[in-house]
Chain A
């Protein structure tokens, strides 16, 4: 099973600042990596797939990069609605596995 490790566990960011979230896979997943956003009391929502492609309706301030084992989600200028938990997920191998999540909180 591929282990996905996200860092940091919690990221404290001010409104308007840049946030950088990391995700590492225990073995290569090529670019078969997705990012999801989950707000309290809500289901996860797809943000990024193919490591760098924004899903429909996702603002341009969200960007993804990386391949192989190292991936990054960047939020260029944090808005109030961006404070949430973010999960990465690999879909290269079975079983599909998720990182433990990074909580982006208000500084």
Chain B
């Protein structure tokens, strides 16, 4: 069974940093590209960042470019999102998502909540 379990969310002050993690199981992690998608409270879904299966191709939404860094550790089956210079508009639930071989999102984690507030 495919499982994606996020952690690392919490309360952080504006301008602060946070590192999110997503532990994957039930599939060969190294074979799949992985994405982060977020959802502000009561709002819709927004693509944040993605990393290819081999880790060489990395993309970011314009809204987070230069502030967030995505990475993966194949030995630990773990996806990361290092978030810096956090703003109120970064607040929300962050989902770890697996990209299928046909490029749609086939599995989602339960999300980890990031709250940016002083």
Binding site for B on A (CB under 8 A): 32, 34, 36, 42-46, 49-50, 55, 87, 89, 91, 94-101
Q: How far is the CA of A87 from the CA of B104 in the complex (A)?
A: 13
Number of A-B contacts (CB under 8 A): 51
Say if the beta carbon of B11 comes within 8 Å of chain A: no
With A95-B59, A95-B61 already in contact, the answer to whether A44 and B45 are too (CB < 8 A) is yes
Q: How far is the CA of A36 from the CA of B106 in the complex (A)?
A: 10
Say if the beta carbon of B105 comes within 8 Å of chain A: yes
Of B35, B47, B103, B108, the residue contacting A32 (CB under 8 A) is B103
Of B44, B61, B103, B111, the residue contacting A101 (CB under 8 A) is B44
Of A32, A42, A55, A87, the residue contacting B106 (CB under 8 A) is A55
Of A46, A49, A95, the residue contacting B47 (CB under 8 A) is A95
Question: Does B108 contact A100, Cβ atoms closer than 8 Å?
Answer: no
Question: Does A49 contact B110, Cβ atoms closer than 8 Å?
Answer: no
Of B45, B100, B102, B110, the residue contacting A89 (CB under 8 A) is B45
With A87-B44, A100-B44 already in contact, the answer to whether A44 and B61 are too (CB < 8 A) is no
Note all chain A residues with C-beta closer than 8 A to B106. Answer: 46, 49, 55
Of A43, A98, A99, the residue contacting B110 (CB under 8 A) is A43
6 intermolecular pairs with C-beta atoms under 8 Å apart: A36-B105, A43-B95, A43-B108, A89-B105, A98-B45, A101-B44
Chain A residue at minimal CB-CB distance from B63: A95
Question: Does A89 contact B108, Cβ atoms closer than 8 Å?
Answer: no
Least CB distance from B102 to A in Å reads 7
Say if the beta carbon of B46 comes within 8 Å of chain A: yes
